[in-house]
Amino acid sequence: MTGSTAMVFTRTCDSSRLLASILTKLGLKAIAINGNMSQSKRLEALEQFKSGECKILLCTDVLSRGLDIPEVDVVINYDIPTDPKLYIHRVGRTARAGRSGVAISLLNQYEVGWFKKIEELMGGKKVPLYTAQEEEVLLLKERVSEAKRSAEKEIKESYEKKKRRGEGDLSEDEEDTDKYLGLLSSKINKSAKRKKTMAGTGKIDNKRRFK
């Protein structure tokens, strides 16, 4: 999927910000839009994505509403939505106008049951299971872990500087940063992954693979 454009959906602005930093450190062109950005900054980020200057856009459901982005090759649900209908809305951002597209949802063991509700909403269609090869994961784990540590350090230092400068109240996301960063490790090392391939007609490949 080299050269493809991707939208990555997260549950919080903090999550999108951190993942964008990690991906950038890994040499990928990624940018996040969040509620703390000015309107001009958001528009600038969107223009970078639309023009192809930046290949990966990270955002939450709230900030994705109303965005007109016609050509998205891949949709990644880093955090599955709490509302099954939002899943349909997210994956519908790819495979538009006769184009093909791929939607990938990352799950941990506690989210499998919830994902089944999403499958029920789709008429009981089963999304095929995609199992990552252990060798591939181990190969990338060291690089990703190093990038994650560096990104976490930079974000914490940024928050501390902001607190010392007394720049007003921190957002709810910022207040929960320490808690969030502690939880991220379990999400980075997800073992359960589901992959959905969509054609321009919106049809789903119902093949399923298991370990």
Is pTM, for the whole model, over 0.85? no
* pLDDT at position 8: 96
**pLDDT tens-digit readout, 46-103:** 999 999 999 999 999 887 887 888 789 999 999 998 888 899 889 988 888 778 899 9
Would you say residue 172 has pLDDT above 60?
no
Amino acid of residue 89: H
| Contact call for residues 98 and 200 (beta carbons, < 8 A) | yes
Would you say residue 148 has pLDDT above 90?
yes
* pLDDT at position 196: 43
Domain-wise residue ranges, the chain: 6-198
C-alpha atoms less than 13 angstroms from C-alpha of 167 in its C-beta half-sphere: 11
Distance in angstroms (rounded) separating the CA atoms of residues 82 and 128: 20
Supply 98's token pair. Answer: 């006769």
**pLDDT tens-digit readout, 201-211:** 343 333 233 32
Would you say residue 177 has pLDDT above 80?
no
The top-level CATH class assigned to 6-198 is: alpha beta
Mean local confidence (pLDDT), 100-125: 89
Banded model confidence at residue 9, pLDDT cuts 50, 70, 90? very high
| Contact call for residues 34 and 16 (beta carbons, < 8 A) | yes
| Contact call for residues 76 and 190 (beta carbons, < 8 A) | no
**Residue indicated by tokens 């993942």:** 19
**Structure letter (DSSP) for residue 80:** -
Neighbouring CB atoms inside 10 A of 132's CB total 13
| Contact call for residues 79 and 157 (beta carbons, < 8 A) | no
Would you say residue 135 has pLDDT above 60?
yes
* pLDDT at position 167: 59
C-alpha atoms less than 13 angstroms from C-alpha of 143 in its C-beta half-sphere: 11
Banded model confidence at residue 173, pLDDT cuts 50, 70, 90? very low
Banded model confidence at residue 165, pLDDT cuts 50, 70, 90? confident
Phi and psi torsions of 72, nearest 5°: -125, 120
